[in-house]
Amino acid sequence: MAENKYCFEYEMKVRDYECDMQGIVNNANYQHYFEHARHEFLQWAGTSFTDLRNNGIEPVVNRIEIDYKNSLHSQDWFICKLYVRKEGIKFVFYQDIYRKSDDKICAKARVETVCINNGKLSRGEELIPFFKDYL
């Protein structure tokens, strides 16, 4: 993932309860971090998951791949960076998490999403007005 393609960054801090017995972030929490960054991206782009849902539009994840590279620890600050591409009916989010203290990549994700509009699969055109500047 080329760093110059990122269109959005969101900074977060690891909370104690997200760590396992080894003192590192449990792998399941990275998916929460990626999801939270996508929701923040939606707001930054001019809408929200709630607004979309209230209008019958449901962006849903249909596939996610995560590669774990380096561990995060309690109290680490990190930055989730992303860019998005339209591939057929899907919006594909490419997301990377970097530890802020040393800029090491901790996790990489490729997240495929589709839109359900009033209960039916759509081509995702509902999101184009919000994403057009970032595709």
Answer yes or no: is pLDDT of 82 > 50. Answer: yes
76 is catalytic: no
Full residue range of the structural domain in which residue 12 is found: 3-131
Please give the tally of structural domains in the chain. Answer: 1
**Which residues have a Cβ under 8 Å from the Cβ of 66 and sit 6 or more positions away?**
27, 30, 31, 34, 107, 108, 109
**Percent of the chain's residues with pLDDT above 90:** 95
CATH label of the domain that carries residue 28: 3.10.129.10
The active-site residue, picked from 16, 20, 76, 133, is 20
Is pLDDT at 4 greater than 90 in this prediction?
no
Total-model pTM: 0.93
